[in-house]
């Protein structure tokens, strides 16, 4: 069965629309409500004056709109301009988003992992969970910063403790493989389970692999197939491959059991 590598599994996360601390008179709230119902034209109309007045959340959100082409023509350069304004004023979400732009080389002159790491570090220190996870990736890869598995685990763990699913998956991979930490497949399974419960496809596949091989958990092909199926539904290519491979090993009764597990999962997620 194929196992998803931590670095391939992690997608550098661009924060969605950010909001400041909740207050009765939060000026970006009307724009957020408009954006949440898909009315990006109204959101932009409401946020643009705020951004021009120096509201860092509005600046970040306008940047997201330009990056994704929501209500405006997609323009990565303009997105970076807005992220930079907001990031320089200390907005953690914008700092992370600017780091992503430099890490990917989108909207900036060239890919620059070192500058990305600097912005991630600022955002991570400010508590941005995406940035903590992204900074961990750079430390694990040794891109833009010296390779340091202990630092990678530190940042993954910080975000994972706050329930960030990608970071939880990455902690699990480090524990499973013994990267920068003594190998502990039982603990790895526990972290995969936390992320898998939040519909993180790579973690669902990774947990399925453990059930399929009996590492860290009792071997159970039915449960393995259940997790692989969820991973495949979430877009995991490895999950789809593993689902098909385990499905061929199940009998009709076991396949029916998987379908019952999937129905219960769907019911719980629909209610929540």
Per-residue pLDDT tens digits of the chain, which is 272 residues long: 554 433 322 233 345 555 554 444 689 999 999 999 999 999 999 999 999 999 999 999 999 999 999 999 999 999 999 999 999 999 999 999 999 999 999 999 999 999 999 999 999 999 999 999 999 999 999 999 999 999 999 999 999 999 999 999 999 999 999 999 999 999 999 999 999 999 999 999 999 999 999 999 999 999 999 999 999 999 999 999 999 999 999 999 999 999 999 999 999 988 76
What's the Cα-to-Cα distance from 265 to each of 196, 200, 226, 242, 250, rounded to whole Å? 12, 14, 10, 19, 20
Write down the CATH number for the domain with range 1-9+27-167: 1.25.40.10
| Helix intervals (H) in 37-148 | 40-52, 56-68, 76-88, 92-104, 113-125, 129-141
Q: Structural domain boundaries of the chain?
A: 1-9+27-167, 184-272
């Amino acid at each position: 069965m194929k196992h998803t590598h931590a670095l391939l599994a992690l997608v550098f996360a661009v924060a969605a629309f950010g909001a400041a601390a909740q207050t009765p008179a939060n000026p970006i709230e009307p724009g957020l409500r408009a954006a949440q119902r898909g009315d990006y034209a109204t959101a932009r109309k409401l946020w643009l004056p705020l951004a021009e007045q120096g509201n860092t959340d509005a600046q970040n959100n306008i940047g997201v709109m330009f990056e994704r082409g929501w209500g405006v023509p997609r323009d990565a350069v303009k997105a970076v301009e807005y992220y930079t304004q907001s990031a320089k004023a200390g907005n953690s979400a914008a700092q992370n988003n600017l780091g992503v732009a430099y890490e990917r080389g989108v909207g900036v002159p060239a890919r620059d992992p070192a500058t990305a790491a600097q912005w991630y570090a600022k955002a991570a220190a400010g508590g941005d969970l995406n940035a903590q996870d992204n900074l961990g990736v750079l430390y694990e890869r040794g891109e833009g910063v010296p390779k340091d598995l202990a630092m990678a685990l530190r940042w993954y763990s910080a975000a994972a403790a706050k329930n960030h699913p990608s970071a939880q998956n990455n902690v699990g991979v480090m524990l499973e493989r013994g990267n920068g930490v003594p190998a502990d497949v039982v603990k790895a399974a526990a972290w995969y389970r936390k992320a898998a419960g939040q519909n993180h496809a790579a973690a669902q596949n990774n947990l399925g692999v453990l059930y399929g091989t009996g590492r860290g958990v009792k071997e159970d092909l039915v449960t393995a197939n259940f997790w692989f199926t969820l991973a495949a539904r979430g877009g995991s290519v490895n999950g789809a491959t593993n689902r098909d491979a385990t499905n061929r090993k199940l009998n009709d009764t076991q396949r029916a059991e998987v379908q019952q597990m999937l129905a219960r999962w769907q019911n719980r997620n629909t209610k929540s």
